[in-house]
């Protein structure tokens, strides 16, 4: 009996010493849906450059469910979108739904890595890095069309 009480006291102490579960900084959960991309095949090669992407972000708040459409396209005169974390593409939101995204990379299996951001006030907001698996197929006229596979992707936006 003494061993059981000592063991319980030890485990109780360990439980108290364990850090609290993280996640208090999660501010918003969204669903990324209907992702699609367009690739132009580089003349004379099998390589293709992504020249546009689009998707929908769906979320809910106490007052209602909302959705915003996000689109990015190659700049005039460019043949592909920019892959980095400084070139932002906007989503059609209002001040309450101020979302934008960056295309970080596209791997050789056509998985798109995006950084999704929501600016709440100037210089402050939420962000998340998300991977979207796609399937690409011939799109006609030396192009390929890519569509999201595996259903919607949940995103936890964090500070």
Per the CB < 8 A criterion, the answer to whether 126 and 113 are in contact is no
Residue 31 counted as domain residue: yes
The enclosing domain of 119 has a CATH number of: 2.40.350.20
Q: Is residue 16 part of a domain?
A: no
Which pLDDT belongs to residue 147?
Answer: 97
Strand-pair partners of 55: 70
Structural domain range at position 154: 25-158
pLDDT digits (tens, 9 = 90+) for 124-153: 888 999 999 999 999 888 999 999 999 899
Q: What is the b/e burial string over 47-71, where b = at least 16 CB atoms within 10 angstroms of the residue's CB?
A: ebebbbbbbbbebeeeeeeebbebe
pLDDT value for 17? 38
Instruction: Report the pLDDT averaged over residues 76-89.
Output: 92
What is the number of structural domains in the chain? Answer: 1
Global confidence as pTM:
0.78
Residue 70 lies in a domain: yes
Taking a C-beta distance cutoff of 8 angstroms, is the pair 118, 130 a contact? no
Asked if residue 6 is part of any domain, the answer here is no
Identify the residue with better confidence: 89 or 47: 89
Residue 7 forms part of a structural domain: no
- In three state form, how does the secondary structure of 3-19 look? HHHHHHHHHHHHHHHCC
Cβ–Cβ under 8 Å, residues 66 and 73: no
Mean pLDDT of the chain: 82
pLDDT in tens, 25-68: 557 889 999 999 999 998 888 889 999 999 999 988 777 788 99
């Amino acid at each position: 009996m003494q061993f059981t009480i000592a063991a319980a006291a030890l485990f109780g102490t360990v439980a108290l010493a364990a850090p609290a579960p993280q996640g208090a900084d999660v501010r918003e959960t969204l669903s990324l849906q209907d992702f699609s991309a367009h690739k132009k095949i580089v003349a004379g090669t099998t390589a293709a450059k992504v020249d546009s992407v689009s998707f929908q972000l769906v979320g809910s708040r106490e007052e209602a469910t909302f959705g915003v459409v996000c689109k990015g396209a190659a700049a005039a005169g460019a043949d592909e979108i920019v892959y980095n974390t400084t070139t932002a593409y906007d989503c059609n939101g209002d001040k309450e739904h101020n979302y934008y995204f960056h295309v970080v990379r596209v791997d050789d299996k056509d998985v798109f890595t995006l950084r999704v951001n929501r600016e709440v006030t100037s210089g402050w907001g939420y962000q998340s890095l998300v991977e979207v698996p796609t399937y690409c197929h011939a799109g006609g006229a030396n192009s390929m069309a890519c569509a999201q596979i595996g259903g919607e992707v949940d995103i936890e936006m964090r500070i």
